[in-house]
Amino acid sequence: MDMLELMEWLAERGVTTVFKVDGERMVEGKKAWMVVVSGGPSGEDSFFRVDMSTADACLDALLAHLEGKVCRRGRKQAALPNRRRWASSRGLRA
């Protein structure tokens, strides 16, 4: 899945997203990748941050968080992009 496409998808729904890699933390062998999301349909309960060792782990954690939000609100799971289907439709690996 292309992170920029996911960020655009989230922005279209009013969600602010920051995806970052910290070079100093990577050199030190620490969790260097970070994703932060806030705003959008979830309102005040919208802030989410995770620090992980890889970009894929950040993406997986973010999608799991978003899926949890959708399920708790009683919406259909299809409201979120399916990582494998989305990636394969663009010729990418999920």
Could you report the average pLDDT of every consecutive run of 10 residues in the chain (94 residues)? 81 92 96 93 81 92 81 52 55 50
Please give the structure tokens belonging to residue 63.
């999608």
> What is the predicted pLDDT for the residue at 78?
39
> What is the predicted pLDDT for the residue at 92?
47
> What is the predicted pLDDT for the residue at 77?
41
> What is the predicted pLDDT for the residue at 23?
96
CA distances from 40 to 14, 15, 16 (A): 4, 4, 8
